[in-house]
Structure 1
Amino acid sequence: MPRRNWAGNVRYAARAYHRPTSIDELRRLVAGSNRIRAVGSGHSFNRFGDTDGDLVTLAGLPPAVDVEPDRARVTVSGALRYGDVARQLYAQGYALANLASLPHISVAGAVATATHGSGQTHGNLATSVAGLELVTADGDLLWFDRDTDGDTFAGMVVGLGAFGLVTRVTLDLVPSFEVRQYARLDLPREALDEALGSAYSVSVFTDWRTPRLREVWRKQLADQPPPPADWLGTTAADQPRHPVLGMPAENCTPQLGVPGPWHERLPHFRLGFTPSSGDELQSEYHVPRAAAADALAALDDVAHLIAPVLQVCELRTVAADELWLSPNHRRDSLALHFTWIADTAAVLPVVAAVEDRLTPFAPRPHWGKVFVTDPAELAARYPRYADFAALLGSLDARGTFRTDQLDRYFPR
């Protein structure tokens, strides 16, 4: 049976699919393969992770969540889902500073693509990475550390799976905390910047059918006062909401200001529920936070193209970082996330139109989503792009972890 990604838009070309149950078995597998890639939770929408060689899941390796209290760090198996890691951390009194919308995604896969949550003071998930263990092309098991490998480490964290198969990841921890989530309706666009900075984590949803923004989800620390009744000209939702109209709200994390653990409020969706059927495509672009209003205004010109193929658009902020391939490299960002209908032929022309309108803001696409950006244009938007390509050539000279899409954007 052919294997596909979660959304079903990518049919993997791999000649074989493997599920090793030990590190030694994995090392032998990698050393004996000329082309190999890891597949995580399958929540990528493009072919960076596809290969005509061997495809391997690391979900069969022994799971581990090892907390180091003296260093406020935890080392976890790369294939574990964030939601499963979070439950164990919460039971021990710890937290991760940020989580993505989906707790279902694997740690290694999310880190490799700079997947993120929201919050103007929070970096994407890769910024909490302090160490990486990889099986490299020769089958060696190597450890790379933020404290000792410095600049090279900053190039490897958002690595697109190109340096090896990530078996363990060390993450920074913070003390556990509680969050309240409030949904507010009908935000005036001129209030967007204030709304995005108003709570620990904020997401704004729109459908590009009206000038106003449909919903604001404020995830605030539990000890902070609730938003006033007339907050920024919005009204309070009187029942739980789902980002996509018509979808069941019971799939979503608790709202209406009910306090709860960080890992049960920061994601949009509950771990025990499938967030959707996967009947969708996704794109996302990161532009400078200071250009948020101008970027939205630029897209107004193509709103008539966006709306017919859109399920929902989410606006979030992400703090700047120093990771070479992070879309937030050295700039605070506004992320514009588009959940499209599952019709590639209809969506791709709109993706191209969105990219064209955002060009003045040097948009950086999410590495795991659908985009059509020219490689030369994308390279110009990353100060360390050439350094990443050089590092890739030195650490995987044989091209064991190469894919066609990697070759297109980082030619040898």
Structure 2
Amino acid sequence: MNRITHNWAEHIAFAAAHTHFPRTVAELQGTVRTATRLRPIGARHSFNDIADTPGGIVSLRALERRIEIDTASRTVTVDAGITYAQLCPVLDRAGWALFNLGSIPDFTIVGAVATATHGSGNTNRNLAASVAALEFVDATGALVRLARGDADFDGAVVGLGALGIVTTLTLDLVPRFEVRQNVYHGLDFERVVGAFDALMGSAYSVSLFTHWNGVRVDQAWLKGLADAPPPPAEFFGGRAAPAESSPVMGRDPAGTTGQLGVVGPWYDRLTHARIGAIPEIGYEYQSEYFVARHHAGAAMRAIHAIETQLHPALVVAEIRTIAADDLWLSVNYGEDSVGFHFSWLRDWAAVQPALAALEAALAPFAPRPHWGKLFLLPPEAFLPRYPRLADFRALARRHDPSGKFRNAFLDRNVFGA
């Protein structure tokens, strides 16, 4: 297999001298025992240096695929190299589903879990919350298993790769379900802000897409259960889209999941992109910030006030809601959240001032940045938002006392080194 040299957007060149592709857990354990510095990597869909290391990178793509469904416990155990795209159709054929998905199905489940990546829905928690158990290889090469209810479990799930290399995940299942997706264009900004909770709770999963361009929110994507009442013709001042849409207004919608109210399986509606639609190289940067959901309206007005400072760099923005969880380093720890996501042009000279303006606008709402995306915030601005940070640091040091799995990103943003 090829050496992994860059992240997905190819703006970060990894310093790692070696890329390891173990084919078995035993082989991985041997690699860990002899390494001095090591970082795991999934689908490379990160936009900062969270995966970088001067030592070795470990990819688990060569592990044998493992999909073990336990109907009694309603769980599935999978290997840590598997993607949602590989797992979801298998679950669906067996009559099962995951409760939610992110916008893209082609990234690894373990990468999404480790960084608290999410979908949307007022009552839907992030993807890490579906983990019922996990196994990882710690710095000694030992295999550690933790399950929901164990003392350290809530600290280990969103682990940022700091405890070791995860080898398996056990995920909660629900019976398979079907979803219809309806898109609306041109929502009234004031109506959206004024009834934000009602709007975002109007379907199983709701996303707003916008360019922050005045009195309109460009689009609402409603992903409703197939047996829910049909959506209205008018929605918060917006009208039903006459044809399938891209998240970026005016672009070709090829590769997006089915719309126009056509019912389809959960895994081909909850994501925005179809399986296999994302290119091998991403020509964009991404950032995302999370604030308490009760601040949603005020935060939207704050972004609206500086929108012209975003326009030189902005491709599109998305707004989603996520329910609270108890995972120590989750960006949704302890509070229902709203996530403000931004896709940027691949132009750092334009993106940097836009990020500075955006972070200043959101500062009154104590934002937490997404662990795997671009941000400028210094750690002292967001680490106090994690009440269990000291416990996480202690947990990481127990499993990795020499810092084998640490890197510059973790030293800077988690351990305060």
> One fold, TM greater than 0.5?
yes
Task: Please name the residue that 2:188 is paired with.
Answer: 188
- 1:232 is displaced (CA, Å) by 2.2
- 1:390 is displaced (CA, Å) by 1.9
- 1:66 is matched by which residue type in structure 2? E
Distance 1:276 1:238, change over 3 A: farther
- 1:153 is matched by which residue type in structure 2? F
SS for the counterpart of 1:308 is coil
Is residue 312–residue 350 contact of structure 2 (8 Å, CA) maintained in 1? no
Aligned mate of 1:141, from 114, 127, 143: 143
Task: Please name the residue that 2:153 is paired with.
Answer: 153
Counterpart-to-counterpart distance in 2, 1:259 and 1:206: 25
SS for the counterpart of 2:272 is coil
Q: How many residues align?
A: 410
- 1:352 is displaced (CA, Å) by 1.7
- 1:290 is matched by which residue type in structure 2? H
Is residue 201–residue 219 contact of structure 1 (8 Å, CA) maintained in 2? yes
Distance 1:334 1:160, change over 3 A: same
Is residue 111–residue 125 contact of structure 1 (8 Å, CA) maintained in 2? yes
What aligned pairs does 1:267-306 form with structure 2 within 5 A after superposition? 267-274=271-278, 277-306=281-310
Aligned mate of 2:34, from 32, 35, 48: 32
- 2:378 is matched by which residue type in structure 1? D
- 1:275 is displaced (CA, Å) by 5.7
What aligned pairs does 1:217-256 form with structure 2 within 5 A after superposition? 217-256=221-260
Aligned mate of 1:101, from 89, 92, 103: 103
Counterpart-to-counterpart distance in 2, 1:271 and 1:380: 38
SS for the counterpart of 1:250 is coil
Aligned mate of 1:51, from 37, 53, 62: 53
Is residue 63–residue 76 contact of structure 1 (8 Å, CA) maintained in 2? yes
Q: Deviations over 1:225-273 (max 9, x none)?
A: 2212123221110111111234321210000000010001000000122
- 2:188 is matched by which residue type in structure 1? P
Q: Which runs of 5 or more structure 1 residues have no equivalent in the other structure? A: none
- 1:38 is matched by which residue type in structure 2? P
Is residue 251–residue 275 contact of structure 1 (8 Å, CA) maintained in 2? no
Task: Please name the residue that 2:92 is paired with.
Answer: 90
- 1:211 is displaced (CA, Å) by 2.1
Task: Please name the residue that 1:13 is paired with.
Answer: 15
- 2:389 is matched by which residue type in structure 1? Y
- 1:298 is displaced (CA, Å) by 1.0
- 2:19 is matched by which residue type in structure 1? Y
- 1:183 is displaced (CA, Å) by 0.4
Aligned Cα root-mean-square deviation (Å): 1.3
Is residue 89–residue 95 contact of structure 1 (8 Å, CA) maintained in 2? yes
Task: Please name the residue that 1:325 is paired with.
Answer: 329
Counterpart-to-counterpart distance in 2, 1:83 and 1:2: 21
- 1:276 is displaced (CA, Å) by 8.3
Segment of structure 1 superposing worse, 272-281 or 52-61: 272-281
| 1:349 and 2:359 are equivalent in the alignment | no
- 1:323 is displaced (CA, Å) by 0.7
Counterpart-to-counterpart distance in 1, 2:22 and 2:6: 19
Counterpart-to-counterpart distance in 1, 2:191 and 2:28: 52
Task: Please name the residue that 2:387 is paired with.
Answer: 383
Counterpart-to-counterpart distance in 2, 1:305 and 1:329: 30
Counterpart-to-counterpart distance in 2, 1:349 and 1:384: 32
Q: Deviations over 1:85-135 (max 9, x none)?
A: 111110110010010000011011000000000000000000010111101
Counterpart-to-counterpart distance in 2, 1:54 and 1:276: 22
Is residue 214–residue 304 contact of structure 2 (8 Å, CA) maintained in 1? no
- 1:201 is matched by which residue type in structure 2? S
Counterpart-to-counterpart distance in 1, 2:323 and 2:61: 31
- 1:18 is displaced (CA, Å) by 1.4
Counterpart-to-counterpart distance in 1, 2:271 and 2:280: 14
Task: Please name the residue that 1:117 is paired with.
Answer: 119
Counterpart-to-counterpart distance in 2, 1:404 and 1:235: 48
Q: Which runs of 5 or more structure 2 residues have no equivalent in the other structure? A: none
Task: Please name the residue that 2:270 is paired with.
Answer: 266
Q: Deviations over 1:38-89 (max 9, x none)?
A: 1100001011111000011100011101001000001011110012111111
Counterpart-to-counterpart distance in 2, 1:190 and 1:222: 29
Segment of structure 1 superposing worse, 94-103 or 389-398: 389-398
SS for the counterpart of 2:364 is helix
- 1:277 is displaced (CA, Å) by 5.0
- 1:117 is matched by which residue type in structure 2? G
- 1:2 is displaced (CA, Å) by 7.0
Counterpart-to-counterpart distance in 2, 1:240 and 1:300: 27
Q: Deviations over 1:361-390 (max 9, x none)?
A: 110011010011111121111111222122
Counterpart-to-counterpart distance in 2, 1:411 and 1:354: 24
TM-score normalised by the chain length of structure 1:
0.97
Counterpart-to-counterpart distance in 2, 1:200 and 1:259: 14
Percent identity between the two aligned chains = 47
Aligned mate of 1:204, from 205, 208, 233: 208
Counterpart-to-counterpart distance in 1, 2:76 and 2:19: 30
Segment of structure 1 superposing worse, 76-85 or 223-232: 223-232
Following TM superposition, the consecutive aligned residue runs of length 4 or more in structure 1 with deviations greater than 4 angstroms are none
- 1:394 is displaced (CA, Å) by 1.9
